[in-house]
A and B are shown apart, each in its own frame.
Chain A
Amino acid sequence: MPSLDDLKKRIKSVKSTQKITKAMKMVAAAKLKKAQEIAENSRPYSSKLKNIIFNLTESIQDKTNAPKLLVGSGKDEIILCVIMTADRGLCGGFNSNICKLAKNDIKKFISKGKKVKIIVVGSKGFDQLKRDYNDIILEKISYKEKKVISFKEADEIGKKILNLFNNSEFDKCILYYNNFKNVITQIPTAQQIIPTENINNEKSNEKLEHNYVEFEPDEDEILNNLLPKNISTQIYKAFLENLASEQGSRMTAMDNATRNAGDLVDKLTINYNRSRQASITKELIEIISGAESL
């Protein structure tokens, strides 16, 4: 049985932790609203761009000469995993969820005899992955100092990936991030960005009426220009989705923590009162029995 003093100290410390988690929850809620707005605003751009590329690929007859970014390098040997995580912790299962998904996939790839390379974005993911895969992590990118992540940063990563692809460092590129569905659900997602994912399945019902489309300049040039842009855009989208997810996840985590701390304080207070009463009773008994013995 802890002494009264100990209990008092513990109650105090839990209370101050509760204050911190509460404050973090508030901050996350405020940031979430903004991040969510940005993420939702960015969705049309990336989905429309995807659509254009889809329409373009439809109208290309000669698939063998299509750009490599679209159809792949023809091999399926080396896989580049771009794993996007947060730079900060205390956000529930956010970082672990992405890492878990990525690790599972990486294990699968390796067991199939493929080579895996990793680029980690965000320091938390690096911390989790370096234990197992330190030797195949090509690069660790972190934007901890940056307050706002703009298209420029995504473009930087996109260019790095493109460079690697052009040097045939990998055949397939998969992007891992948390897709923001709503405040309590974020879905860890794996999205293949090189070669461009086939979006055929979604749109097979919707037959294109206009098969004839004018291109200016020609298809190849347009595709050659659009595909790199698409990669940067998808990365940017992943960034924003991740940002919103991080805040959402943190908010729920901190909300739970605050509630738990409240429960703990209640329990400790009952304990405290009980032991206080016990010590008073004990003292009374001592006094009474002392008086009786006289």
Chain B
Amino acid sequence: MSETFKFDLITPERSILSTETTEVIIPAFEGQMTVLKDHIPIITFLKPGIITFLESSNSKNYLIDDGTVEFKNNYLLILTENAIDLEKFDKSSAPNIINKLESEILQNQISDKEKFLISSKIETLKEISR
């Protein structure tokens, strides 16, 4: 496996994972993108969604909030406020979170950008709980 690169996923609370991988699929702000080895250096944003990466040919999923992506010198760094392993995510709690987010989105004082982020979070959660 020479095609691997380093991949870190970090939240303010702790460093979630630090591993070698061949492929990472990121829900970037302007659409989904896949990072492979020798990708050009890039800095972009995340929107809430699911991040998928390959670890020894198993794909793993993490549910993430908005954050930042940086890829440089074959090192992928993802900073996000929240990341949960999808296997450990309690699906029964999803409807509650969705309800809460939906009431949040109705508030007037939030900006369009926040609205966009929240709605993409709702979509992701709906998809998971399906």
Q: Which of A's residues lie within 8 Å of B, judged by CB?
A: 38, 41-42, 44-46, 48-49, 52, 55-56, 151, 209-210, 212-217, 222, 225-226, 229, 233, 236
Interface centre among A38, A44, A212, A222 (most CB of B within 10 A): A44
* Beta-carbon contact of A213 and B13 below 8 Å: no
B12, B30, B70, B81: which contacts A52 (Cβ < 8 A)? B70
* Beta-carbon contact of B42 and A210 below 8 Å: no
Given contacts A49-B79, A55-B70, A233-B12, 6 further A-B contacts (CB under 8 A): A48-B8, A52-B79, A210-B41, A214-B43, A215-B44, A226-B68
Please, which residues of chain A bring their CB within 8 A of the CB of B79?
A: 45, 48-49, 52
Please, which residues of chain B bring their CB within 8 A of the CB of A48?
A: 8, 10, 70, 77, 79
B29, B40, B73: which contacts A212 (Cβ < 8 A)? B40
Q: How many angstroms from the CA of A151 to the CA of B45 in the assembled complex?
A: 19
* Beta-carbon contact of B72 and A151 below 8 Å: no
* Beta-carbon contact of B42 and A213 below 8 Å: yes
Please list the 4 inter-chain residue pairs (A to B) with the smallest Cβ-Cβ separation, ordered nearest first. A41-B14, A216-B44, A213-B41, A214-B42
Query: Given A209-B73, A210-B73, A226-B68, is A45 in contact with B40 using a C-beta cutoff of 8 Å?
Result: no
* Beta-carbon contact of B68 and A49 below 8 Å: yes
Q: How many angstroms from the CA of A38 to the CA of B14 in the assembled complex?
A: 7
A42, A212, A214: which contacts B13 (Cβ < 8 A)? A42
Please, which residues of chain A bring their CB within 8 A of the CB of B28?
A: 216
B11, B44, B45: which contacts A45 (Cβ < 8 A)? B11
Please, which residues of chain B bring their CB within 8 A of the CB of A217?
A: 29-30, 44-45
Q: Which of B44-100 contact A (CB under 8 A)?
A: 44-45, 68, 70, 72-73, 77, 79, 81
Q: How many angstroms from the CA of A289 to the CA of B93 in the assembled complex?
A: 91
* Beta-carbon contact of A214 and B30 below 8 Å: no
Residue of A nearest to B39 (CB): A214
* Beta-carbon contact of A44 and B44 below 8 Å: no
Please, which residues of chain A bring their CB within 8 A of the CB of B44?
A: 215-217, 222
- Sample of 12 A–B contacts (CB below 8 Å): A44-B10, A46-B12, A48-B70, A49-B68, A52-B68, A55-B70, A212-B41, A214-B40, A216-B42, A216-B44, A217-B44, A236-B12
- B15 part of interface (Cβ distance < 8 Å): yes
* Beta-carbon contact of B30 and A210 below 8 Å: no
Chain B interface residue count, CB cutoff 8 Å, equals 23
Query: Given A52-B70, A213-B72, is A41 in contact with B41 using a C-beta cutoff of 8 Å?
Result: no
Residue of B nearest to A226 (CB): B68
Per-residue contact bits, chain B 5-22, to A (CB 8 Å; 1 contact, 0 not) = 000101111110000000
Q: How many angstroms from the CA of A44 to the CA of B80 in the assembled complex?
A: 12
B113 CB to closest chain A CB (Å) equals 8
Please, which residues of chain B bring their CB within 8 A of the CB of A44?
A: 8, 10, 15
Residue of A nearest to B31 (CB): A216
Please, which residues of chain B bring their CB within 8 A of the CB of A56?
A: 43
Q: How many angstroms from the CA of A213 to the CA of B8 in the assembled complex?
A: 19
Residue of B nearest to A212 (CB): B41
B25 CB to closest chain A CB (Å) equals 15
* Beta-carbon contact of B43 and A215 below 8 Å: yes
Q: How many angstroms from the CA of A151 to the CA of B83 in the assembled complex?
A: 14
Q: How many angstroms from the CA of A49 to the CA of B41 in the assembled complex?
A: 16
Q: How many angstroms from the CA of A225 to the CA of B28 in the assembled complex?
A: 14
* Beta-carbon contact of A151 and B77 below 8 Å: no
Residue of A nearest to B82 (CB): A151
Query: Given A213-B42, A216-B30, A222-B43, is A151 in contact with B10 using a C-beta cutoff of 8 Å?
Result: no
A45, A210, A216: which contacts B29 (Cβ < 8 A)? A216
Q: How many angstroms from the CA of A151 to the CA of B11 in the assembled complex?
A: 10
Q: How many angstroms from the CA of A56 to the CA of B77 in the assembled complex?
A: 15
Please, which residues of chain A bring their CB within 8 A of the CB of B13?
A: 38, 41-42, 151
Q: How many angstroms from the CA of A156 to the CA of B68 in the assembled complex?
A: 20
Q: Which of B91-116 contact A (CB under 8 A)?
A: none
